[in-house]
Structure 1
């Protein structure tokens, strides 16, 4: 029998290559500051050669969430695809070392393990250039029905909507999770990702595929095609699926904290104190990790959001999207656990 999970994440398995840079470098490389853009392998090599000294760690939005939740005590698994190469081995080792279950067999041929070149400017903003590589090989065959059915929450990356086979894996997981009576969460991932798939994401929300939605305010404004943040939040509040159900929405707003949107109500939650913003990579990922780990412990939504804010605050005060402090100890110190 498959051991039960609090959280199963399905996402892109990516190794992050992180370097400090400045706005002039971004302009010279013709990349949009603060965005994520997809690149091919030659461009990946070109960018790597142009970058300064880099920190190389396992990453990927969903994997960051899986690790954060595991470090907060949640029983967590991950489904994603790597190649049987050195970066793929690094990714698998890092996940397993933090207690995240990862059993998807690596690809033995085809593109190399995915890499994301993260350029961090002095203001802490991160600009991502992603070579998907082996990620695109994720398919429905990699989605183990027993593992999905065992998870109380299945969390899906919006970025998965780019590769067609991964999209089908996403749909398969939704059906299995709901058939088992479990919840499905979606993170919108990136405003540009929303721009590419707005109608499809709204379709997933409205046909009942999604029970929990994570978004930052920019992504939510993109989803509802408005420049008015309040209007976007009100639109989310009013959303109902085909059965008339409200979904649970979590909206992050950087230093302004977060919003819990549920049942036609909106609750504001203040941000955790941050002494210095060093690198915003992974802030949304760790907010989701904290929230879902709190939910697994049976905490109320507002306390879950506070736990998410705490995890996000920890990760933006250093380089890299994985926590460097004991999150459980921090949460206990703040009276959240």
Structure 2
């Protein structure tokens, strides 16, 4: 593999840097459960597949399009990845200066990824361009908006821990990490260390219960280091982190996370969220009124709204409401990005709840 180049030049220091070691292109499709029976792994989860398996799934999608679907194509292709989703929500939806640290291939998928991210005003000056393929993921969405993800990353180019430099994090206020980064040896740990040298705060999303199960010792070690200032988890992820505790509740999960982080959030889907900052605990209801087409990116965009509140010094209650609002906006269309109509809906709801909109 040849030397990597960078994907453009940054103009100003970013407020938020997101670490996504592997650029992803999502292939999103609405399907019926009959089709999902033939896909390996648990429904609703995320397990890796080979390139051959990915092509087979995509071929099957064209035969199992959801009846009466209202989309012009069975498959919608767009830039993907949890961190990418969060950065797009912050930059394109809320005007926060964001930069991505990671790698993409020099193929057509990689170019499409870069074009999509730039359209949401995300700085790609620290996105390395390498010779090789870009990662891909099939996102299968059922009639209720639930999604099953099958990423193909085996041959995809990726960022290595040794490639990170302090310059990647210069001047930032927040680093956004995701549990999927643990697939890179020492990568998450190195990024957190370098960000702390710059005086930045660190946010961690646990990603999925499979990720927590696979990397629990490393995740706990990072949390115990006290380098994570804000942790996001859903109920399944928190339960897995607690060792599969069958009697765990959102409250007990929040208490567990708060041992290691000053700020912790347990996302409850349609029931809203519960969050803690120091000794303060806040519950927020989900924002109602929007349709649910695809839950892909709901947690990622919840993080966008919550972080936006933290960046601007808002109350914990406002941070929770912002997260619920941005999370509700993204589920109204296919894929993990807020489309123009969803953005309009989001801003209207923010205004009705008295939530301020800044330009960071």
Inter-partner Cα distance in structure 2 for 1:25 and 1:246: 41
Aligned residue-pair number: 328
Structure 1 gap ranges (5+): none
- TM-score, length-scaled by structure 2: 0.86
Q: Which residue of 2 aligns with 1:10?
A: 19
Q: Judging changes above 3 Å, is the alpha-carbon distance between structure 1 residues 57 and 2 closer, same or farther for their aligned structure 2 residues?
A: closer
- Picking from 128, 139, 143, the partner of 1:118 is 139
**Any conservation in 1 of the 2:231–2:261 contact (CA below 8 Å)?**
no
Deviations 1:227-283 (A, max 9, x none): 2342x6325425566xxx643101110111111122244311111114322110000
- Picking from 276, 284, 293, the partner of 2:308 is 293
**Any conservation in 2 of the 1:149–1:176 contact (CA below 8 Å)?**
no
Q: Which residue of 2 aligns with 1:180?
A: 198
**Any conservation in 2 of the 1:237–1:263 contact (CA below 8 Å)?**
no
- Picking from 120, 129, 135, the partner of 2:150 is 129
What SS does the corresponding residue of 1:50 show, helix, strand or coil? helix
Q: Which residue of 2 aligns with 1:255?
A: 270
Counterparts of residues 1-337 of structure 1 (less than 5 Å): 3-11=12-20, 12-52=22-62, 53-70=74-91, 71-103=93-125, 104-109=127-132, 112-133=133-154, 137-164=158-185, 168-224=186-242, 225-230=244-249, 233-239=251-257, 246-324=261-339, 325-326=342-343, 327-337=346-356
What SS does the corresponding residue of 1:322 show, helix, strand or coil? coil
Moved more, 93-102 or 261-270: 261-270
Q: Which residue of 1 aligns with 2:7?
A: none
Deviations 1:182-211 (A, max 9, x none): 111110000111111112211111121211
Structure 2 gap ranges (5+): 1-9, 63-73
**Any conservation in 2 of the 1:260–1:305 contact (CA below 8 Å)?**
yes
Deviation at 1:85, TM superposition (A): 0.7
Deviation at 1:307, TM superposition (A): 0.8
**Any conservation in 2 of the 1:16–1:58 contact (CA below 8 Å)?**
yes
Deviation at 1:179, TM superposition (A): 1.6
Larger relative helix fraction: 1
**What is the RMSD computed on CA atoms of the aligned residues?**
2.0
**Any conservation in 2 of the 1:80–1:135 contact (CA below 8 Å)?**
no
Deviations 1:27-85 (A, max 9, x none): 12233211001112121122122212200011111100000011211111111211001
What SS does the corresponding residue of 2:122 show, helix, strand or coil? coil
What SS does the corresponding residue of 2:140 show, helix, strand or coil? strand
Inter-partner Cα distance in structure 1 for 2:161 and 2:114: 20
Deviation at 1:17, TM superposition (A): 0.1
**Any conservation in 2 of the 1:283–1:313 contact (CA below 8 Å)?**
yes
Inter-partner Cα distance in structure 2 for 1:134 and 1:80: 15
